[in-house]
């Protein structure tokens, strides 16, 4: 396969060219090439279902596909409705990560599958290895997963009792894992109980976490909460300023969070105006969309 150049895949002006290359590649014999094309096609245009039949085939393919493919199908949402029976079968899989991935995908594709998926995800929550996956899966069901709130709250309380190891590297790794779990659990609680602001202060504190992966996860969660998280505006602005010379994708995430939080214009417009001239098109695009909403 002639790999799709990164410049093609991320340049909006060449998006149609990249989509055509993906569709052509879905017709070749190589399974690896077809998988790469189907995955890239979803990133480029999540309204197309060209790759769904092949992705469903991959669900029973060895080599980690059963855990990876549900996430791709989930990105398609209802467009991948035809995959629901296969994903329901994966809820019986022997591996927790596969069951969690299938449950989360069902929440995004077919929320009415909650009766089958939510009990499976709740049973995975106590497992520290896959707790984050299960929490994110429950989050996709939103208010339909009310029964999981006590389980999620219990997990949050238990995190502070998690041992952090002896050596400094071990402690840092354990702390990062713990705070990622916390962010995922708070994300689920915020999505399920959208009227509550209870989780916002804890999320705001996590914006100061030294691990960029934790900070990015928190920004995504605050974006999901929307106006209920307006009190975090100054912390998001500070994070964006600190990340401008480090993690540009976090800057873009911060702009998207501000767009959904919809804070007072005077608190964010000067910064967003500066970001309009950013050389990174994702940052520029996110700032432009945030300004369009906040100024209206």
Tell me the per-residue pLDDT of 194-226, one tens digit each, with 9 for 90 and over: 776 778 888 899 899 888 888 998 998 898 888
CA-to-CA distance for 126 and 43, rounded, in angstroms? 32
Mean of per-residue pLDDT scores for the chain: 87
Surface-to-core class of residue 106, CB atoms within 10 Å of its CB (0-12 exposed, 13-18 middle, 19+ buried): buried
Largest CA-CA distance found in the chain, in angstroms, rounded: 56
Res 118 pLDDT > 90: yes
131 touches 124 (CB < 8 A): yes
Res 18 pLDDT > 90: no
Of 12-26, 138-152, 213-227, the range with the lowest mean pLDDT is 12-26
- Residue where the block lists tokens 């702390």: 175
Nearest to 177 by CA among 239, 247, 129, 123: 129
Res 120 pLDDT > 50: yes
Q: What is the mean pLDDT of residues 259-283?
A: 91
Which is higher by pLDDT, 268 or 65? 268
Q: What is the mean pLDDT of residues 263-286?
A: 91
């Amino acid at each position: 396969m002639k790999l799709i150049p990164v410049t093609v895949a991320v340049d909006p002006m060449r998006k149609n060219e990249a989509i055509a290359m993906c569709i052509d590649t879905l017709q070749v014999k190589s399974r690896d090439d077809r998988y790469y094309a189907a995955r890239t096609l979803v990133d480029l245009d999540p309204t197309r279902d060209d790759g769904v039949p092949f992705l469903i085939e991959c669900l029973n393919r060895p080599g980690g596909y059963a855990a990876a493919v549900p996430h791709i199908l989930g990105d398609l949402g209802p467009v991948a409705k035809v995959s629901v029976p296969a994903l329901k079968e994966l809820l019986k899989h022997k591996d927790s990560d596969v069951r969690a991935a299938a449950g989360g995908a069902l929440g995004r594709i077919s929320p009415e599958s909650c009766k089958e998926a939510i009990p499976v995800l709740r049973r995975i929550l106590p497992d520290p290895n896959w707790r984050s996956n299960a929490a994110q899966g429950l989050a996709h069901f939103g208010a339909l997963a009310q029964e999981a709130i006590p389980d999620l709250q219990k997990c949050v309380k238990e995190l502070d009792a998690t041992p952090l190891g002896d050596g400094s590297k071990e402690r840092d790794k354990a702390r990062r894992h713990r705070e990622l779990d916390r962010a995922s659990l708070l994300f689920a609680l915020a999505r399920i109980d959208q009227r509550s602001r209870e989780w916002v202060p804890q999320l705001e504190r996590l914006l100061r976490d030294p691990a960029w992966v934790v900070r990015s996860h928190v920004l995504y969660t605050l974006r999901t909460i929307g106006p209920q998280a307006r009190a975090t505006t100054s912390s998001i602005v500070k994070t964006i300023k600190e990340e401008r010379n480090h993690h540009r994708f976090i800057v873009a995430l911060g702009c998207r969070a501000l767009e959904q939080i919809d804070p007072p214009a005077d608190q964010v417009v000067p910064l967003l105006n500066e970001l309009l001239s950013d050389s990174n098109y994702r940052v520029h695009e996110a700032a432009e969309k945030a300004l369009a909403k906040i100024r209206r």
